[in-house]
Amino acid sequence: MAEITAALVKQLREATGAGMMDCKRALTETGGVLDEAVDWLRKKGLSAAAKKSGRVAAEGLVGVASAPLCAAMVEVNAETDFVGRNEQFQGFVATVARLALDVGEDVEALKAASYPGAGRSVAEELTHLIATIGENMTIRRARVLRVSEGAVATYVHSAVRPGLGKIGVLVAIEAPGEIAALEALGRQIGMHVAAARPDALDVDAVDPAALERERAVLSEQARASGKPEAIIEKMVEGRIRKYYEEVVLLEQVWVHDGESRVRAVVKKAGATLAGFARFHLGEGIEKEAGDFAAEVAAAAGV
């Protein structure tokens, strides 16, 4: 029996795309013979994952998990909406969200973490899941929010099961007081964030580049009026305030009553809004515009 070296495991992994632990197991089962290990992985369906890695994955699920004073959110993508209803996939997303509570929001660190009860890393478990379900999947991003006092509330819009859906929100509230009340407020703010899609927490957090682009557009529009430069400057500043009301969470109109500002709602509760995060499944991913009839014909070998 050949020695199962790290180099041999790496060679098999590069050849098949299977996980490290699966490669090691295959080599052990086949006495270290590389070709037989490849066949062993193929029979188990584990080498198929590499062939799927180039496909666009823009569906899947957003998952959230909570613990005292913190909460985590992850986005795990798959190729089709159907996979989001798969119990194995749902379990994987929920587990990764819980792991993020301890590991943090670095995706590479999350992939390297040990997957509970599997004897594999998260990345290797994902490869195993790809081979089992038959679609490309990726852990796209993660976010963790923490507070020293208060609560980090979670909200999932149209959840397929608790903590899993297509839009997820974390809301960090710092305040003394009853945690249940703070979480209830946080959930309301989460619903607001899901609907209103703010870009920044407060005016100071607005992206300077985005603000300058907006100012340039508004200046051109104002100059088209032919008014004096001093008037134009006031017009632009007025429209910038309106821009803040659209993109800044604390300046937005509270969706629950259509009148109050979010800032006033938080202040009335005696709290401070320390941060928020919003994940909308697949946002920013360029999806392929395929010809469905051609895909069916190709699959049928026509």
- Kindly report the length of the chain: 302
pTM as predicted: 0.75
Mean pLDDT of all residues in 197-216: 90
Half-sphere exposure of 73 (CA within 13 A, CB side): 26
- Percentage of residues in the chain having pLDDT higher than 90: 53
**Lowest-confidence segment of 106-110, 153-157, 166-170, 280-284 by average pLDDT:** 280-284
CATH of domain 6-52: 1.10.8.10
Overall CATH class of domain 207-247: mainly alpha
Element spanning 200, H or E: none
Overall CATH class of domain 53-146: alpha beta
pLDDT of residue 298: 47
First to last CA, the chain: 46
The answer to whether 48 and 131 are in contact (CB under 8 A) is yes
Element spanning 259, H or E: none
Q: Which residue has the higher pLDDT, 189 or 210?
A: 189
Per-residue 3-state assignment (H helix, E strand, C coil) for 18-43: CCHHHHHHHHHHCCCCHHHHHHHHHH
The answer to whether 57 and 79 are in contact (CB under 8 A) is yes
Element spanning 117, H or E: none
Closest-CA residue to 252 (of 236, 263, 239): 263
**For residues 140 and 138, what is the distance between their CA atoms, to the nearest angstrom?**
6
pLDDT band at 42 (very low <50, low <70, confident <90, very high): low
**For residues 104 and 214, what is the distance between their CA atoms, to the nearest angstrom?**
34
Question: Cα-flanking dihedrals φ and ψ of residue 149, to 5°?
Answer: -150, 130
**For residues 92 and 69, what is the distance between their CA atoms, to the nearest angstrom?**
24
List the chain domain ranges: 6-52, 53-146, 207-247
How far is Cα of residue 100 from the mean position of the Cα atoms in its chain? Answer: 12
**Residue 52 tokens, joined:** 């799927």
Give me the residue label for tokens 């052990």. Answer: 28
